[in-house]
């Protein structure tokens, strides 16, 4: 390539990054709030999860965390941020489906996330290797409609033809990057990263993390678990 050619490519890249940046900062804070438990209250413990809907470890980590959320009820708020990983095929498409559904019917977002966790094996790796992007989008539209209701089929299909859902999914990705997250699942509690979050945290792990924070059962055992966060 000539010097001039390289220069025009560089200018083009610079222009593209300007265009890509025009939705940062976003209109709305990234994330799906669980059961409308708002995270802006300073009186609740705030848990944030970074999940990839097509990540098996994310799927494994959700049931024990969900059980803990139900145990603590309104004392804990919970937000999911999506991080579609480049090495999980079709994770971006699945994440886009979640953003589309979240803007159509917010209550359907978590049921859809759970459905992706349950049936994720059909959407990545060998079973999809020879399938076109268009075919996968079509399959994900059908799957999503089956979960949230077929009356939404056209809206979901149109959602994939709308740059807004693409932007929202990019914002999720960029938000995860801005928090220094590069793998899933990854958790923050009250704004601090949980160490060793790569290992699946079971229900008792969550209890031993959160109990000391809400002052439940003051014992030396709990003081030790508090140090786990330090
Ligand atoms: C929104 O989704 C929830 C959960 O799937 C469902 O119960 C509710 O009927 C939906 N609302 C509408 C208007 O479709
Ligand atoms: C994908 O296509 C290749 C080449 O046509 C074929 O050998 C392979 O078996 C196919 N894989 C699947 C999972 O269909
Ligand atoms: C997507 O939208 C464009 C216009 O915004 C329209 O021309 C095109 O037919 C749409 N494609 C689908 C598959 O709906
Ligand atoms: C939960 O995981 C911890 C390790 O993180 C382990 O020591 C403990 O036995 C596990 N508890 C259950 C009930 O599986």
Please identify, by atom number, the ligand 2 atom nearest to the C-alpha of residue 127: 13
The pLDDT of residue 182 is: 94
* Domains within the chain, CATH numbers bracketed: 3-203 (3.40.30.10)
3-state helix vs strand vs coil in the chain, percent to 5: 60, 10, 30
Average pLDDT in the chain: 87
Say if residue 145's pLDDT is above 60.
yes
Determine if ligand 4 sits within 6 Å of the CB of residue 204.
yes
Ligand showing the shortest atom-to-Cα distance for residue 125 = 2
What whole-number distance in Å separates Cα of residue 190 and Cα of residue 182? 19
| Ligand 1 binding pocket mutation candidate from 32, 98, 101, 105 (most atoms within 8 A of CB) | 105
How do residues 149-181 score in pLDDT, each as one tens digit?
999 999 999 999 999 999 999 999 999 999 999
Please identify, by atom number, the ligand 2 atom nearest to the C-alpha of residue 130: 1
Please identify, by atom number, the ligand 4 atom nearest to the C-alpha of residue 200: 5
Structure tokens, 187: 């958790």
The pLDDT of residue 18 is: 46
Distance 126 CA to ligand 2 centre (A): 9
Say if residue 196's pLDDT is above 70.
no
């Amino acid at each position: 390539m000539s010097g001039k050619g390289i220069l025009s490519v560089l200018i083009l890249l610079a222009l593209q990054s300007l265009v890509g940046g025009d939705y940062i900062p976003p209109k709305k804070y990234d994330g799906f709030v669980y059961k409308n438990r708002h995270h802006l209250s300073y009186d609740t413990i705030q848990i944030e999860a970074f999940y990839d809907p097509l990540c098996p470890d994310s799927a494994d980590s959700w049931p024990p965390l969900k059980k803990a959320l139900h145990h603590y009820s309104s004392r804990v708020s919970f937000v999911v941020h999506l991080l579609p990983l480049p090495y999980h095929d079709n994770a971006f498409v699945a994440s886009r489906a979640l953003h589309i559904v979240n803007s159509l019917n917010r209550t359907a977002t978590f049921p859809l996330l759970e459905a992706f966790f349950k049936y994720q094996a059909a959407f990545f790796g060998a079973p999809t290797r020879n399938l076109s992007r268009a075919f996968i989008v079509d399959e994900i539209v059908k799957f999503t409609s089956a979960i949230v209701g077929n009356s939404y089929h056209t809206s979901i299909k149109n959602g994939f033809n709308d740059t807004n859902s693409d932007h929202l999914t990019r914002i999720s990705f960029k938000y995860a990057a801005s928090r220094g997250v590069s793998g899933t699942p990854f958790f923050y509690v009250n704004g601090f990263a949980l160490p060793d979050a790569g290992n699946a945290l079971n229900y008792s792990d969550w209890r031993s993390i959160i109990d000391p924070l809400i002052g439940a059962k003051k014992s030396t055992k709990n003081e030790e678990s508090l140090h786990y966060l330090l």
